[in-house]
Amino acid sequence: MTSILLCGAFGRMGKNVADFASASNKAVVSAGVDVSAPTYDAAFPVFSSLDDVTEQFDVIVDFSHHTAVRQVTETAVAKGVPAVIAATGHDDAEKDLIRKASLSVPVFYSGNMSLGINLLIDLAKTAARTLGSDFDIEIVEEHHNRKADAPSGTALMIADAINSDERFRYVYDRHSSSSPRKKDEIGIHSVRGGNIVGEHEVIFAGESEVIRISHSAASRMVFAEGAVNAACWIVGKEPGLYGMSDMIRSRGI
C-alpha cells in the first residue's frame, strides 16, 4: 500500500484523489496539506503547511498551485521521497526547481495524467510528421471558469510534442495580431466557462481537407486515477524526471 501526502487536499482534484485512493486497494492518503478551509470531511489530517506534517508518507502528490512547487520539491528532497507534480502553470524558474529536485529524488511531472491525452499527443506527433508543412496547426482547449492558468498545461504539452525540433513559434489567441497567419505558427486558444472538465482539439488545416484530433475528459476522476497510478509507480525508482510516456512504456502499453 503506497501512502500519499496530498498537497491541495481541499481542491477539486484533491477531493478526487482522496476518493479514488480510498476506493482503491493500492494507495492511501496518510495526510493532506491545504491553505484553504475544509471543503469536505477528510478521513486524514490536513495541515496548512508541509512543514507541519508529522505522518509518514511514501510519496507527495501535488494538485495545489504552481507556486507551491518550491515547498513541495524542498520537502521531497529533505525527506528523500518522490513527488508527483500534477499542478500546472509553472513558470521557467519553477520548472528549474522541478528539474533540480529530480537530481536527488524521482519526480513525476505531467500537465495531464490521463492515458487518452497521452495517446492524443502521440497521434498529433504522427499527424504533424505525415502532413508536413502544407497543413496549419491550431490547438483549442476548453476548461471550467475557475481554472487559473491559460493556456492549459496540456495544450502546451501537445504543442511542445509537435514542436520537438523547434520549427514553430506559438501564437496565443489572435486578438493582438492584424496580419495573416504564417506557416511557422502553432496557434493556441483558450476557452473558459462553466464546469467544462477539459477539452483539447488539435486541428490540421490544409487547402482541401481538415483533420481534427480531439480528447474530452468526462470526469476529473481520470486525472486522479492517473496521479495515484503514477504515485504507486514512482516509489522505488531512481532519481530522475519521469512522465506519462515513461510509465506507459514500462507497463508495455
Ligand X SMILES: NC(=O)c1ccc[n+]([C@@H]2O[C@H](COP(=O)([O-])OP(=O)(O)OC[C@H]3O[C@@H](n4cnc5c(N)ncnc54)[C@H](O)[C@@H]3O)[C@@H](O)[C@H]2O)c1
In angstroms, rounded to a whole number, what is the distance separating the alpha carbons of residues 75 and 194?
35
Which residues have CB under 8 Å from 147's CB, separation 6+?
192
Does position 151 bind ligand X by CB under 6 A?
no
Selecting among 143, 189, 200, 215, the annotated active-site residue is 143
Which residues have CB under 8 Å from 53's CB, separation 6+?
5, 31, 33, 47
Q: Which stretch binds ligand X (CB under 6 A): 108-116, 158-166, 208-216, 239-247?
A: 108-116
Residue 63 or 135: the one with the smaller Cβ distance to ligand X is 63
- Pick the binder of ligand X from 7, 31, 77, 81 (CB under 6 A): 7
Does position 42 bind ligand X by CB under 6 A?
no
Residue 3 or 110: the one with the smaller Cβ distance to ligand X is 110
CA atoms within 13 A on the CB side of 69: 25
143 labelled catalytic: yes
- Pick the binder of ligand X from 110, 118, 163, 229 (CB under 6 A): 110
Does position 58 bind ligand X by CB under 6 A?
no
User: Which one-letter DSSP state was computed for residue 23?
Assistant: H
Does position 29 bind ligand X by CB under 6 A?
no
Residue with cell 512547487: 69
147 labelled catalytic: yes
In angstroms, rounded to a whole number, what is the distance separating the alpha carbons of residues 219 and 124?
23
The residue at minimum Cβ distance from ligand X is 11
In angstroms, rounded to a whole number, what is the distance separating the alpha carbons of residues 83 and 174?
37
Does position 70 bind ligand X by CB under 6 A?
no
Q: Which of 38, 36, 25, 103 is nearest to 64 (CA)?
A: 36
Does position 141 bind ligand X by CB under 6 A?
no
Selecting among 95, 125, 144, 147, the annotated active-site residue is 147
Q: Which residues of 53-71 are buried (b: 16+ CB within 10 A; e: fewer)?
A: beeebbbbbbbbbbebbeb
Catalytic residue list: 143, 147
Q: Which residues lie near ligand X (CB under 6 A)?
A: 7-8, 10-14, 33-36, 63-65, 67-68, 86-89, 110-113, 223
